[in-house]
Structure 1
Amino acid sequence: MGISRRRVRFGAALAAVMATVATLAPAGSSQARPAVVPTAQGARQEAAATPDPFFTYTGSTPLADLAPGTVLATRALPYRIARLPLPLQLVQVLFRTTDQRGEAVAGVTTVVRPLVGRTAKVIGYQSFYDSLNPEDGPSRAYSGVFSPGVMAAHVETTLFAGFLLQGYAIVVADTQGPTADFAAGPEYGQVTLDSLRAALKAPGTGIAPTARIGLIGYSGGAIATNWASVLAPGYAPDIDRRLVGAAEGGVLVRPSANLGYVDGSMVWAGVIPMAVVGVARGFGIDLTPYLNDYGKQVYAKLQKASIAQVLGAYPGLTWRKMTKPEYADPARIPVFVDTVNQLNLGTRPTPTVPMFIGQGTAGELEGTPRSRTLGPGDGVMIAGDVRSLAKQYCADGLPVVHREYPLSHFTSVPFWLPEAMAWLNARFAGVPAPSTCSSIPAGNPLTPLAPAP
């Protein structure tokens, strides 16, 4: 079958499946929300009762004795969305990687094979699945799991479909690791880099040995994209040499500031307890002694929550409502200060590859007012912090294209994506990377959180 017929068949099937997904999404919400699909409790319980053994490493060699990116297992399977097949073939790879605490763990990634033959062009697509449940990872979604938490990964098929139609292979890692360490940025980056190492080694992927790689991700996917770019020169120089560029949008720069920005907001406030759970889990720390009874209740409830379950579910929630009075200022918690400062991208080295960075500025559309101290944002991410990060990269000589959209987090995506795709295509074509460094507005200081006296 020729490439044009494969494109038509894929496009028609994708449109039909996504139309089916859309009919299952809840209607009537006045707030911008990601598409989610409710499912019967029985189906979710059935999935939980029969875990897929592929995602568990059972080899006799200790993972710590294997190099990061080592292939542990592979399998080929068709791509399924909401249990309906698409004319795409996948190779899933179990591989050795490193978690937030520096321990060797088994990660998983999915390679969407090129539509025809082999390719030397690879897109590392970082998903915004944003969940505290490992069963919500994109690899589970593509293998047939059907639950609200996996629907973000299904919807994202429409975002990277354009690359597939141009002959790329797509690598989609479960970037949050095997325990779903939400918001633990360095782990996202390490898993992303090791997933690319594994994809290049695994058989049957349709990826040529000489392949070049472009990174792209939005929101939670931008966390993985930026951290992978930052860590690549030291953690994975073999991958860094293959990178042509990184495109990201809706960027988390300084989590300590973002928690203040969404504090008390109408849609995004539920991210506060999600981040507390995810960061505590990833770094192996206990934050429950600082929570009040209500905070502990929310903390326990969200242990396996997805972003779809918390958006709009905690309107007006504040840090103060969750903590004991003496910890109403999070800077009074030394372990919190130390942890969030490790997640500040402004204190990390500049990447070596060109970057495209997009950011919304109208968070009011999603119920988050403009901050008096931090300025505008998109509802969850802070435009001033993104500006400063971009300017910092520019000052170090990196070619950066920085865009701002007068829209919110979700509504910026249709404007960011075409620009990001065109920018990446130009990098693969060998066109010199452009720069908008001279026109980036002034931003916020990216200083670490200071402990309270």
Structure 2
Amino acid sequence: MARVTRLALLRVLVILGLALGSVVFAAAPSAIAAPGPGSPLPSADPFYRYTGPLENIEPGTVLRSRPMTFRTPTLDSPITGTQVLYRTTDQAGDGAVTVATVLRPLTPGPTKLVSYHMAYDALGSKCDPSYTLSGGYANSLNTAEQGVIAGYLAAGYTVVAPDYEGEDLEWTIGRQSGYAALDGVRAAQIFLRVPDSTPVGLVGYSGGSVPTQWGAEIAPRYAPELNIVGTAAGGLPVDLAHNLPYINGSDQWAGVIPALVVAYQRTYDLDVDSFLSTRGKQTSQQVSDECIVEFAGNYPGLTSADMVKPPYSGLLDVPEVVRAVNDNIMGTAGTPRSPLFLAVGNSDAIGDTIMVTGDVVGLAHEYCTRGVDVTYAQYDGHTHGQAFPVFEAQALPYLTERFNGVPTRSNCATIPQGNSLAPMAVP
């Protein structure tokens, strides 16, 4: 009975979170900045900085910690937690640091750890989960996801929410996001003094699917000691070479195009002066410290062609851009050993308005051919925003069953081949 009550409460809190963030995953700029008293942005907060050597420090090591309160800018809660600064690994394989928020449920019981990956999709530090979960800033998206996290806590789970984009806000970067997620779990286990055998679930939607999926994929090699019992990822950007043409000229999502340029320039040191047009440089600068709810819909009709100058006709004509995109195709870094729940909306002939349905199908099919236990869900008629609450409502019972050892209901036998995820030829 207690389990049913907790699950019901989680669903209620998810709904409340979605109501508070009524334009979740919409492109309209609806952010309201409200930092807490005495809370500087992470970019200006010494807690987030670490200047010591990292070479001989194990990934997941906690470097410092401090208490926090789980709250919004206008609403306090009785839940307290801890921010931990920990050692992780960047896309190039070098040592790096980032912060995770560790939240314990109010109800005692054996630790079941959920690594919840917020879709903060950000280029500015005000969007970091560690900052938003402590009430430093709020927008419709993080408010909705904070409601989901509250539900996991009410259901008795311990939650770790990492700032998986790292210090430089490198959005959609695959391996780095996965490393940060797995090392966040390690850091939480160290801080909580629980063993490696503690069961772990990974979950995230949209941008949050990046650390979720990549974390599951690289875990057998990078963090084999973790006991990941299940992974739930929805609305996945499997291959950005397919997403970019889909959102080209979109009224709702075209602002993602310059934002991706900024993220890739930060990660791969792209020579943007060699290919960006004047407008491309202007829009990239304008989005360089914003969250997705601010930039996604602010450039209706913007195209990839608008971003570049001759001799290029689009970003995917630029060799270094294509190489960077190819470096982040899901399914290319390893094979998950945990059961997977993969889901995506399908509202038109291509996808959910931003994610390509056939790509998620292709990823699910590829994993099935490698022997991964996959459950695939497709939400026909649902846009990306509409699919979010449906996914969250299914991710909960999926992970709950994995924590409880219930047999999976894989539908690998009925998943079609989907799109090819072969790397794009470099121009």
Pairing partner for 2:213 from 209, 214, 226: 226
Q: d(CA) in 2 for partners of 1:404 and 1:268?
A: 21
Match in the other structure for 1:438: 413
Does structure 1 residue 310 correspond to structure 2 residue 295?
A: yes
Match in the other structure for 2:203: 216
Does structure 1 residue 397 correspond to structure 2 residue 371?
A: yes
Match in the other structure for 1:70: 61
Match in the other structure for 1:367: none
Q: CA deviation at 1:451?
A: 2.2
Contact 1:120 1:210 in 2 (8 A): no
Equivalent residue letter for 1:38? I
Q: d(CA) in 2 for partners of 1:361 and 1:20?
A: 23
Q: d(CA) in 2 for partners of 1:43 and 1:173?
A: 20
Q: d(CA) in 1 for partners of 2:100 and 2:42?
A: 22
Q: d(CA) in 2 for partners of 1:16 and 1:77?
A: 25
Structure-2 change in CA distance of 1:320 and 1:90 (3 Å): same
Q: CA deviation at 1:143?
A: 2.5
Equivalent residue letter for 2:32? P
Q: CA deviation at 1:223?
A: 0.8
Mapping 1:35-434, distance limit 5 Å: 36-39=30-33, 47-48=40-41, 51-57=44-50, 61-146=52-137, 148=139, 152-203=141-192, 210-239=197-226, 242-362=227-347, 370=349, 376-406=350-380, 407-434=382-409
Q: TM-score, normalised by structure 1?
A: 0.85
Structure-2 change in CA distance of 1:46 and 1:399 (3 Å): closer
Structure-2 change in CA distance of 1:67 and 1:352 (3 Å): same
- SS of residue matched to 1:84: coil
Q: Which has the higher contact order (CA 8 A, sep 6+)?
A: 2
- SS of residue matched to 1:200: helix
- SS of residue matched to 1:120: coil
Contact 1:388 1:443 in 2 (8 A): yes
Q: CA deviation at 1:289?
A: 1.6
Structure-2 change in CA distance of 1:91 and 1:243 (3 Å): same
Q: d(CA) in 1 for partners of 2:43 and 2:419?
A: 48
- SS of residue matched to 2:384: coil
- SS of residue matched to 2:87: strand
Q: CA deviation at 1:191?
A: 0.5
Q: CA deviation at 1:355?
A: 0.3
Q: d(CA) in 2 for partners of 1:126 and 1:237?
A: 20
Q: d(CA) in 2 for partners of 1:325 and 1:439?
A: 46
Deviation string 1:181-206 (CA, Å, 9 cap, x unpaired) is 011111110100111110000148xx
Q: How many residues of Structure 1 are paired with residues of Structure 2 in the alignment?
A: 422
Q: CA deviation at 1:53?
A: 2.2
Q: d(CA) in 2 for partners of 1:279 and 1:412?
A: 27
Q: Which stretches in structure 2 are left out of the alignment for 5+ residues?
A: none
Q: CA deviation at 1:209?
A: 6.1
Deviation string 1:66-106 (CA, Å, 9 cap, x unpaired) is 11111101112221211431111111110011112222121
Contact 2:360 2:418 in 1 (8 A): yes
Q: d(CA) in 1 for partners of 2:19 and 2:404?
A: 36
Does structure 1 residue 449 correspond to structure 2 residue 424?
A: yes
Q: CA deviation at 1:48?
A: 4.6
Deviation string 1:235-271 (CA, Å, 9 cap, x unpaired) is 11122xx000100100111111111111111101111
Structure-2 change in CA distance of 1:438 and 1:14 (3 Å): closer
Q: d(CA) in 1 for partners of 2:279 and 2:119?
A: 28
Q: d(CA) in 1 for partners of 2:285 and 2:38?
A: 19
Contact 2:19 2:144 in 1 (8 A): no
Greater mean deviation of Cα atoms: 407-416 or 441-450 = 441-450
Structure-2 change in CA distance of 1:78 and 1:428 (3 Å): same
- SS of residue matched to 1:412: helix
Q: d(CA) in 1 for partners of 2:250 and 2:325?
A: 21
Q: TM-score, normalised by structure 2?
A: 0.90
Deviation string 1:351-391 (CA, Å, 9 cap, x unpaired) is 1111001100115xxxxxx4xxxxx2111110001101100
Q: d(CA) in 1 for partners of 2:283 and 2:327?
A: 25
- SS of residue matched to 1:321: helix
Q: d(CA) in 2 for partners of 1:34 and 1:231?
A: 35
